[in-house]
Chain A
């Protein structure tokens, strides 16, 4: 049995940035309010959703404490109290997963209840529990399996029961200690072997559609940490408030929101989220639900691209990262579209391969978020135009109807109209043609 995973002490403050790669959180607790351990403190909604919609993700307090709201983040100052929210109650696994705030802990951060729901709708016949850590030096999944196999198994059974009787595969990167009694599949291969699409292909021979997910071919792939969290939520009613994180070279239980600056790391720059797919920590960086690792960041000296094409060889999606890099640097967005920027899975294999040590992944991520932002603006503009045109059409129709009504009255003044009113009606000047909306802009 491997040594137990140590728990890091509670920091002075837990920080939750509101803008995250998957969307923006809305604080649901007021500034200065008290939260118990496990209370919902922030929620995330689908983009453009109204206030009446259900959240797609909730964030729960990892300690009892006082809430502080800033424009960019939600802070929780632990007060050392032991007040706890009641255990989770939702009767169905899908609801319980949402209630617990569980998302894809492997890194994607996609809400697990949505994935479960899709798997149920498509009658998924297979469940792959993904413990293939493909980034060198990250052992969080392995530590979880070594020390908490029972709760992982509870999670597997909970999901398997919900799906009926799927074929369950536990995929690991190296054989597990014999003490763990569960059939495993060892998956070794070049990075990124643990990418769910590659895993589905390799273990089951099923190919997910290019624009789709493994659930489209009836396969549910869940990271082992996600399954563990499901196990805790289902069996013990516990929300997701901490996770196993590789900090430097060791694994710890770290609460969600733990500031990176207060992790036991040597001084200097740090990478949040795995040495390959992570990004440089800024002063306000904190451990999030998808943070598998925080490691010291080695200084690299990038040199110019020599177009060696190793990134293209390494890319699991068959993209040409070197061409994308040049297109992004020159702002040629149409070219990046043709080079299928949108298909990048952000695995960072190109970064690993690049002899010039260029920040390819960072450039691709930047370009992808610019692309999303442009698409968002585009759809907002389209919506505004449609509504503007609909309103103009409505106003024009109403004006035309009004004119027709008045014309009728002029031709045949009703009996009940007194003579003076009829005269007044006859003297109304003709209305201008309704080309422009009647209520023009105020003069500027």
Chain B
């Protein structure tokens, strides 16, 4: 299997999640995907051409995957400005300014997403008319209601966020296939989900007004499965030693929970993954033979 084959499989594994998101949130998801992928590939091609590099550096398939992840993590039908900004930061700053494929320190998709989130806070909090507030927001800002009382709101589905739970289930499906095909390393999602679950279990007291959401809710809300199976598994920005990979996943899971529970952002995945990337070299130093 070649690098391009790897990227192709990652893309294939994203199809269920993309389809589920389109079904739940409408054609805005497809618009996001089309614009982001086209813009990302064009930017990369232009960059490679301007620097007189071989076109192979623009056809390895990593840019479409990066852009697809941004498109799926962003609210559907995101305005052109924020979306292009996120894509440009991801492809040019986070990938190519670091030296291209394999040399970036931070996950490009999450750098782009986080930069756009900080630059354009309003459109990123604005999911769609279907839910109004996302389940994560509804869980956080519920004015002293118990979990069961809050669950009456439109934001929640059967186990997680309305719509989000279906997208997460689809991402889980694709992610498990990716791990079974040995394209993604299963230690990363296992670490993320175990750690997120453990943190949520600690903060969940059966659903009182002070409760912060059950493990099941956190697994099936926001971009959990996308982060666990598709973003934390980017090997370039993750550690190499098996023990460090567990720690890396666990760190990301814990950060996701902390940001969701105590932060003001719509979701915690981008900053959690970036924190994890920051820690990856240190984790390797800790766990590689010295």
Query: Which chain A residues have a beta carbon within 8 Å of chain B's beta carbons?
Result: 301, 303-310, 312-313, 320, 322-323, 338-340, 355-357
Give per-residue flags for B221-247: 1 if the beta carbon is below 8 A from chain A beta carbons, else 0.
000000000000001101011000000
Q: How many A-B residue pairs have CB under 8 A?
A: 55
Query: Which chain B residues have a beta carbon within 8 Å of chain A's beta carbons?
Result: 1-3, 5-6, 56, 60, 62, 100-103, 182, 185, 235-236, 238, 240-241, 288-290
Given A303-B3, A306-B6, A312–B102 Cβ distance below 8 Å? no
The 4 closest A-B pairs by CB, nearest first: A304-B102, A307-B235, A308-B235, A355-B3
Is B182 a contact partner of A355 (Cβ separation < 8 A)? no
Is A323 a contact partner of B6 (Cβ separation < 8 A)? no
Is A357 a contact partner of B2 (Cβ separation < 8 A)? yes
Complex CA gap A312/B243 in Å reads: 13
Residue of B nearest to A300 (CB): B2
Give every chain B residue within 8 A of A309 (Cβ-Cβ). 185, 235, 240
Is B103 a contact partner of A304 (Cβ separation < 8 A)? yes
Is B56 a contact partner of A339 (Cβ separation < 8 A)? no
Complex CA gap A355/B182 in Å reads: 12
Could you pull out 30 A-B pairs where Cβ atoms are within 8 angstroms?
A303-B3, A303-B56, A303-B60, A303-B102, A304-B100, A304-B101, A304-B103, A306-B3, A306-B62, A306-B102, A306-B236, A307-B235, A307-B240, A308-B6, A308-B185, A309-B240, A312-B240, A320-B240, A320-B241, A323-B240, A338-B289, A338-B290, A339-B288, A340-B289, A355-B2, A355-B5, A356-B2, A356-B102, A357-B2, A357-B3
Is B56 a contact partner of A355 (Cβ separation < 8 A)? no
Complex CA gap A356/B2 in Å reads: 6
Give every chain A residue within 8 A of B5 (Cβ-Cβ). 355
Is B288 a contact partner of A320 (Cβ separation < 8 A)? yes
A48, chain B: closest CB distance, angstroms: 32
Complex CA gap A313/B101 in Å reads: 21
Complex CA gap A320/B102 in Å reads: 16
Is B2 a contact partner of A307 (Cβ separation < 8 A)? no
Complex CA gap A301/B100 in Å reads: 16
Residue of A322, A340, A355 near B240 (CB, 8 A) is: A322
Residue of B nearest to A323 (CB): B240
Give every chain B residue within 8 A of A340 (Cβ-Cβ). 289
Complex CA gap A90/B216 in Å reads: 78
Residue of A301, A307, A310, A323 near B102 (CB, 8 A) is: A307
Give every chain A residue within 8 A of B103 (Cβ-Cβ). 304
A161, chain B: closest CB distance, angstroms: 45
Complex CA gap A339/B2 in Å reads: 26
Residue of A nearest to B289 (CB): A338
Give every chain B residue within 8 A of A357 (Cβ-Cβ). 2-3
Give every chain B residue within 8 A of A322 (Cβ-Cβ). 240
Give every chain B residue within 8 A of A312 (Cβ-Cβ). 240
Complex CA gap A163/B182 in Å reads: 45
Complex CA gap A322/B289 in Å reads: 14
Given A305-B102, A320-B288, A338-B290, A356–B240 Cβ distance below 8 Å? no
Complex CA gap A67/B288 in Å reads: 53
Q: List 17 additional contacts besides A303-B56, A307-B240, A356-B3; criterion CB under 8 Å.
A: A301-B56, A303-B101, A303-B102, A304-B103, A307-B236, A308-B6, A308-B235, A309-B240, A310-B182, A312-B240, A320-B241, A320-B288, A323-B288, A338-B289, A338-B290, A339-B288, A355-B3
Give every chain B residue within 8 A of A313 (Cβ-Cβ). 182
B257, chain A: closest CB distance, angstroms: 26
Complex CA gap A312/B238 in Å reads: 14
Complex CA gap A301/B54 in Å reads: 11
Complex CA gap A308/B240 in Å reads: 8
B289, chain A: closest CB distance, angstroms: 5
Of the listed residues A303, A322, A340, A357, the one surrounded by the most CB atoms of chain B closer than 10 A to its CB is A303
A197, chain B: closest CB distance, angstroms: 20
Give every chain A residue within 8 A of B6 (Cβ-Cβ). 306, 308, 355
Of the listed residues B62, B100, B185, B289, the one surrounded by the most CB atoms of chain A closer than 10 A to its CB is B289
Residue of B nearest to A312 (CB): B240
Give every chain B residue within 8 A of A338 (Cβ-Cβ). 288-290
Is B1 a contact partner of A355 (Cβ separation < 8 A)? yes
